[in-house]
Structures are given as structure tokens and as C-alpha cells.
Amino acid sequence: MKISQTAITEDIKRINDSFRSSRLSRIFEILSWIHHNLKLDLDENYKKEHFRSRTAGEIIESKKLTGCSDYALVFLVLAKASGFKTKYVETIQTEWLRDGGDKILGHVFVEVFLDKEEEWVIIDPQGAVIRAWYGKRYVVYAKGEDSWDIGIKNFDDLKEKFFEYRKKYSIKKRG
């Protein structure tokens, strides 16, 4: 059986049952819950140990986030438990693709389908905002169910995939 980072656990169901608003307001309620109940842990050792290795349930249980991917996973699973269709969206900053450098620049978003509007909206769970588009700052690398679904289970996976993508991006831009 395939293990998913976004499996809906009993804790996730309980948290979801505490939300009272509907559709678009529910998105804001979920974002608010995340920012009031979980904290970003800036300890580099903690981040290295837990980067992309946990399920949303494990992140909620720890009450600690390592960065945008953890914010996205928790938001995604709570939105999914609320009945939304969701997509995990891995992006790479255009600046890093263009200029290079050793420090990888990217960000994770979640796309949510709003039934009444019949459209996908972009959520930045870490920033707690809804975006109209990715803009020129981000290039979408991949969309999937979660980080593991797109093949990123740790920092080495991310680094390998992003540097490979940057090579192809550079060739495409020159050609």
C-alpha cells in the first residue's frame, strides 16, 4: 500500500470538524488554524532531519514546521478533509534558474478548486494568502498529491531535481 503524506488521520478529521465556515471562508479558517497552532522551527538541524520526510499528520502532531512544504502539506490535507480538490505545487524561483547559485530558491503552493467559481485558485499557505497567478517570480516545476508523489522525499532529491531542471531551463532559454 502506498503511503501518502496527505492521508486523513483521526486528528485531521477532528481538526476539520472544528471548522464552521464554508467554501472560500473555510480556506481562510484553515490558514488561520495553521498559523495559530503550528510554529516554524528555524533550527537548521531540525530542518535537515525532517525536511520532506513527514506526513501532514506527523507535522500536526509535532506542532513544528520546517518551511513552505510543511505549511503546504498541512493546508492541503485540511482542505482535502473539507472536501476540496487540491494540488501540491512545487515551484522554482526564476531568479535562481536564470542566475544560478548554490542556495536553491523555490516555494511550495497549493491549488484548490472552487466549485461555484469553477476555477483553481493558488494558495500560499506559508504567507496565508490567495494569489491570482504565479507571476514572473516562479516557474512551476511539478504538481501532484504531495512532495513524495513528485519524487521529493529529502533535500538530496530536491537538489538533484532542481539542478537537473535548471540545466534544461538554461538550454531552453538560450535556444
The domain spanning residue 39 has which CATH number?
Answer: 3.10.620.30
pLDDT for the residue 23? 77
Nearest to 92 by CA among 6, 174, 170, 4: 170
Q: Specify if 3 maps to a domain.
A: no
Q: Is 2 a domain residue?
A: no
Could you tell me if residue 79 is inside a domain? yes
Three-state secondary structure call for residue 141: strand
Q: Which three cell numbers mark 175?
A: 535556444
Range of the domain at 109: 10-174
pLDDT at 55 (0 to 100): 96
pLDDT at 114: 86
Give me the number of domains the chain comprises. Answer: 1
DSSP-derived letter for residue 105 is -
User: What is the reported pTM?
Assistant: 0.88
What is the C-alpha separation between 59 and 74, in angstroms, rounded? 7
Q: Can you tell me the distance from the alpha carbon of 136 to that of 24, in angstroms, rounded to the nearest whole number?
A: 26
Residue 114 lies in a domain: yes
Q: Which residues of the chain have pLDDT under 50?
A: none
The per-residue pLDDT for 1 is 56
Question: Cell 513527514 identifies what position?
Answer: 54
Q: Is residue 106 situated within a structural domain?
A: yes
Give the pLDDT of residue 117: 65
| Residue 143 belongs to a domain | yes
- The radius of gyration computed from the CA coordinates of the chain, to the nearest angstrom, equals 16
pLDDT digits (tens, 9 = 90+) for 68-80: 999 999 999 999 9
**In 3-state terms, what secondary structure has residue 110?**
strand
Q: Is residue 1 part of a domain?
A: no
Would you state the pLDDT for residue 19?
85
Whether 5 is in a domain gets the answer no
Average pLDDT in the chain = 92
The H-assigned helical ranges of the chain are 10-18, 23-37, 44-50, 56-62, 68-81, 94-99, 155-174
